[in-house]
Structure 1
Amino acid sequence: MFNNFSSFMPFILKGLEITVQVFLVGAVVAYSIALVAGLMRTSKNPVIRSVAAVFVELFRGTSLLVQMFFFVYALPMIFPGLSMSNFLAGSIAVGLNYGAYASEVVRGAIHSIAVGQTEAAISLNMSKWQRMRLVILPQAVRLMLPGFGNNAIELLKGTSLVYFIALADMTFQANVLRGSNNSLSNQIEIYTYLLVAYFILALPLIFLARWLEKRASKGVSTS
């Protein structure tokens, strides 16, 4: 066992580029959506809050895999003029799904800022946008970082589902390899290498999240 590293690992890593690309596009979509939906959830306008709530609960309450299938197969049938590649459909589905979860991190962080901060900003004659941009968000971002870090790691792991829509990511490559290696020892070896590959990919995210948290906490009193 574990004597096929030189042949198995390079084959699995053929899918590394797709895995990283789906992660990056998904992360851009996720954090953009998280910020917008999170701010909408804090709005005093009930219509805006309701629209954001429906979006968040829809994507949190349904399977990511089903969402991928919907974007790839159902959406082009509903809107014949709308076509997208499997890569784009999978990346958007991943981004929207994890963006819905991350929006709750944004909402919770904003709501945790003391009311006195807003009152002080109002007393300085700041507009609502100025209060949010200059007073609330800078403090809230520090509180969002741990949740965002966890979300990024979960998003990376979620990219493994794109092999169901025929994207040749690392999981896809591992399953192709398994199909031509039926022995139990080889299959254990293949999925062990896949496990290690995802762990190594996640390590920079873990260290980056910790570094950002420490940097954001400098000069902040914890008392």
Structure 2
Amino acid sequence: MKPDDGPPLRPRIEQLGEKAGAVALVVAIALGLLYALNRNEPLDLGFMGENYRALLEGAVLTLLVTGAAYFSGMALGFLFGWLRTSKRRILRGLSAGWVEALRGTPLFVQLLFLYNVLLYYLPTMESRLIVTGFLALLLNTSAYQAEIFRAGLQSVAAGQVDAARSIGLTYWGAMRTVILPQAVRIVVPPLTNEGISLLKASSLLFYIGVQELTYEGRILTFGGKLVETYLMVTAIYLAMTVPLSKVVAWLERRYRIPGLGLQQEVGGRPARGARSLAARVLGVDGGSLRTAARAVRPALKRAWIRGPHKSSLIRARPLYGRR
């Protein structure tokens, strides 16, 4: 076996068998615990069939509030994340204060603070509870997304930015053609993870009376069916979060950038020895070279067209062929 070769791949059927066995074991243990917690009585399937629609209505409200807060917080988070990379100290200080204040306090405390503020200033507002929950989730996720965007923007090598500026690109031109295309690929997986975390954190809204999934489950427990109710609540949360976690795994494989700690997988195993000759000689990865080439090519073409002479030595030629 060569040094760069990894362990042999296991048959696909063997991998599926292990996953199926693990799922069956977890389900068996969960059913045993539920039977014990339910005082050795069988689950009331009739109760579950009659009341699951109320939980689905709460799940719809959970998704709506979480989705609105997440995407609104994304715009605010990008703004503060970009300000944290600014050269102006006052802008960096303001954005850092915003981020640290919201990340350093619990979401539950922020929720109660906004609840009392809106209760004092807008006591007759009909949708005050939903607005309170929406604002609390928005402000909280904006701080975490700001850090994600800051890390993504700063992960682009400074040499690429300097090269883009040296060929005549403006700051916004370099941002649009060099920085953002790479930063977006880096931040997509952690942003999706943040969405999953925000979805689970939205369960705190039941405390102020927002009729989301956990609130509806709490109402059903007044009938004495605690195990059946929270079993349905758990199943609905899993139905929302597990597919999103699979999306995160797919995005990590789809948008990984070679050379930034994310290895490409072949058949479930990290691939080795996949770096090109240019990457090995120059010490950079092929994705960065292609991005820089796409950014530099238009400027070189403009310089060639506007130039006073037409020497073949300065003629812009593509560094990579079109796909």
Q: Which amino acid aligns with 1:100?
A: A
Shift of 1:170: 0.8
Tell me what 1:111 maps to.
154
Tell me what 2:242 maps to.
203
For 1:126 and 1:209, locate their aligned partners in 2 and report how far apart those are by CA, in whole Å.
34
Shift of 1:208: 3.1
Tell me what 1:157 maps to.
200
Match of 2:177 among 134, 137, 141: 134
For 1:165 and 1:201, locate their aligned partners in 2 and report how far apart those are by CA, in whole Å.
23
Match of 1:96 among 139, 145, 150: 139
For 1:95 and 1:203, locate their aligned partners in 2 and report how far apart those are by CA, in whole Å.
23
Is the aligned partner of 1:30 residue 2:73? yes
State the secondary structure of the residue aligned to 1:43: coil
The count of residues paired between Structure 1 and Structure 2 equals 216
Shift of 1:75: 4.5
For 1:144 and 1:160, locate their aligned partners in 2 and report how far apart those are by CA, in whole Å.
25
Shift of 1:39: 0.4
Instruction: Name structure 1 gaps, 5 residues minimum.
Output: none
The 3 A distance-change label for structure 1 pair 167 and 76 is: closer
Tell me what 2:61 maps to.
18
Q: Please, what TM-score do these two structures have when normalized by structure 1?
A: 0.88
The 3 A distance-change label for structure 1 pair 3 and 173 is: same
Shift of 1:67: 1.2
Tell me what 2:251 maps to.
212
Q: Please, what TM-score do these two structures have when normalized by structure 2?
A: 0.62
Match of 1:145 among 164, 173, 188: 188
Question: More helix by proportion, 1 or 2?
Answer: 1
By relative contact order (CA 8 Å, sep 6+), the higher-ranking structure is 1
RMSD of Structure 2 on Structure 1 (CA): 2.1
Tell me what 1:2 maps to.
43
The question of whether the paired residues in 1 share the 8 Å contact of 2:81 and 2:146 is answered with yes
Match of 2:115 among 59, 64, 72: 72
Match of 2:227 among 188, 191, 194: 188
Shift of 1:8: 3.5
Shift of 1:211: 3.5
Q: Which has the larger Rg? A: 2
